Amino acid sequence: MLATLLVAGTAGALSVTSAAGLVPWLLGGFALLMAGRSFVGMIKELRSGSFGVDLLAITAISAAVAVGEYWAALVIVLMLTGGEALEDYAAHRATRDLTALLAKAPQTANRMSVDGTVTVVPIEDLSPGDSVLVRANEVVPVDGTLDSESGEFDESSLTGESLPVELRRGDEVLSGVVNGSAAVTITATRSAQESQYQHIVALVEEAASSKAPMVRLADRFAVPFTLISLLIAGMAWWFSGDPVRFAEVLVVATPCPLIIAAPVAFMAGMSRSARGGAIIKNSATLEKFHRARSFAFDKTGTLTYGQPSLVAVRATPRAQGAGLTENELLRLAASAEQSSSHTLATAVIKGAEARGVHLMAPESALESTAKGVQAVVDGRDVAVGKRTFIEQIVGAAIPRTALSPGELAIYVAVGGRNAGALILKDQIRKNSAETLEILKHHGIQHFTMLTGDDIATAEHVAAQLGIDRVRANCLPADKVEEVKNITKRPVVMVGDGVNDAPVLAAADVGIAMGARGATAASESADVVILRDDISRVAHAMVVGRETVNVALQAIAAGIALSLAFMLIAAVGNLPAIVGAWMQELVDIVAILWALRASRGRDVVPELHASTWKSSVSASA
């Protein structure tokens, strides 16, 4: 290519016959020298095996120089240089949302000593247990718990939620959220390196640096495109007898759209997905979404909330005869449960608060690990826990209370007698069914649910969601085996817990519900959902499919325009200098088309069935 530059410069110099011709020659020579860097890059691409695209560009420039079309050769060089600049601009525009988290990453923190002295330290120096002052409108540097009475935080950078969130003392505060208008203090629970924000930053860096596989696909397009271009150019020369015609055809055949369109579209799509609360870690995932045929879901914490909630209170007839109403039974049980750290105890307490039941502080309490708790509440002996635990308290067998699939019971004894049961259930997410409907609408027909729960509970949830393939009582290895055995591929797996990490890695695409900080699952997954919202799964998949479609459209548009201009040039109606500028127009069209991948409506704006169905009908 440097030899081509020398040929162009020498030929241009020999053609200078007057002072008036010297100025454009000098300007052209200066432009060619400034474009030398582009040629070096092209040679590196040739050596790496991407010969389809760059071979045609070199051939076009060489042909233009050989027939004396020096300005046309110069325009091609400037076109390539300008194309690189446009690609840089387009990529920057496409990735600005994806990399927004990086710009706000805190570097220092205000550590408070016991006497209240504040010292500014690098965030790497913070340790769990440190007290940290977060001033108004500052980014929280590490994960912690709120020490102040209350605080208001903007979580949009992590979750996309536009409204500020109010937290109370003892609530978890994630790094990366922005504090409100009043300073607060938190106690660090993790180091900066292990905190949520730094984890997301690492995901963003990985996503931004990934290489789009569609570039290799573009090179596969370029090989037949190069052959067709050379064939058209050769036939134009053969029938016209004019070698200039050969150069005029190749000038408009430089396939920059193949180089530019795919990576710009992919980065734009990843940016759009990130804005919607789903970080796609590698651009190869977008193409897999485009071809996906099956989805597999974990149940607990994915299709369901993973947090049992109180659905019923059942007082025994004897307890009711003793004056224990359902609310009174719940008041005694929830008051006793305040002494327990168990997840089910939290669910009982929240259920009581939701019903407006006033709780009392227990006078004494004793918790038996994995069994239950005993306490004195309002002068009464209260025991809450498993049926076998309550049977030991009352000294007699207790009949099982009737349960529907997915429900579990906590039994209560008051004054040494069986008083009733509290019924809890892990509720299906309100938008799980609608999410599956959207996936079906976009071509996914095969769904599987994998869970460690018993078969009755699993089938009950699956029936409500329209999932016909269920595997219950699964260990992590069982889930991996099930995903490997799915024949309709690529298969996408959605999970949330540490036990889902192996199967997320085994699937063609792994999606982690990462809002609750399941680090192992997030690191194994290809996509991380930042909101505790399963609808983002549908969002990521639809964005992936639309992005690949846009990339292919941009490539097709560029090739079609180039072929049209080649045919015009073949009959002698497109001079080389004009053709070179026409190819620049083709590049701009391809880039602008590719940038369409960064825009699009939210496919799940409300995720209410009626809203979604009406939007589909309106667009039909």
Identify the active-site residue in 130, 154, 298, 533.
298
SS3 of the chain: helix, strand, coil, percent, to 5: 55, 15, 30
Q: Which tokens in the block code for residue 230? A: 């050379």
- Specify the length of the chain in residues: 620
Q: What CA–CA distance (Å, rounded) separates 385 from 375?
A: 12
Q: What CA–CA distance (Å, rounded) separates 182 from 172?
A: 17
Phi, psi of 150 (to 5 degrees): -160, 165
Q: Which tokens in the block code for residue 601? A: 């409506």
With beta carbons less than 8 A apart as the criterion, state whether 254 and 222 touch.
no
Is 602 an active-site residue?
A: no
Q: What CA–CA distance (Å, rounded) separates 226 from 214?
A: 18
Question: What residue spans of 316-465 are helical by DSSP H?
Answer: 317-321, 326-337, 343-354, 387-394, 432-441, 455-465
Q: What CA–CA distance (Å, rounded) separates 548 from 290?
A: 7
Residue 370 CB burial class (10 angstroms; 0-12, 13-18, ≥19)? exposed
Q: Per-residue b/e over 74-98, b at no fewer than 16 CB within 10 Å?
A: bbbbbbbbbbbebbeebbeebbebb
Helix (H) or strand (E) holding 410: strand 407-414
With beta carbons less than 8 A apart as the criterion, state whether 511 and 493 touch.
yes
**How crowded is the C-beta side of 321, counted as CA atoms within 13 Å?**
5
For Cα atoms 166, 169, 171, give the angle at the middle one, nearest 5 degrees: 70
**Residue 239: strand, helix, or coil:** helix
Cis link prior to 164 (omega < 30° from 0)?
A: no
**Residue 596: strand, helix, or coil:** helix
With beta carbons less than 8 A apart as the criterion, state whether 219 and 263 touch.
no
Helix (H) or strand (E) holding 581: helix 576-594
Helix axis angle, 535-570 relative to 284-291, nearest 10°?
A: 100
**How crowded is the C-beta side of 430, counted as CA atoms within 13 Å?**
4
DSSP class of 105: -
Of the candidates 44, 74, 205, 188, the residue with the CA atom closest to the CA atom of residue 127: 188
| Backbone dihedral region for residue 68 (phi beyond 0: left; psi -120 to 50: alpha; all else: beta) | left
Q: Which string of DSSP letters, residue by residue, matches 331-355?
A: HHHHHHHTT---HHHHHHHHHHHHT
Q: Mention every residue, 6+ apart, whose C-beta is less than 8 A from residue 69.
A: 244, 247, 248, 251, 576, 577
Question: Which one-letter amino acid corresponds to residue 296?
Answer: A
**How crowded is the C-beta side of 531, counted as CA atoms within 13 Å?**
21
DSSP β-bridge partners for residue 449: 297, 470
| Gyration radius from the chain CA atoms | 33
With beta carbons less than 8 A apart as the criterion, state whether 251 and 76 touch.
yes
- By annotation, the residues acting in catalysis are 298
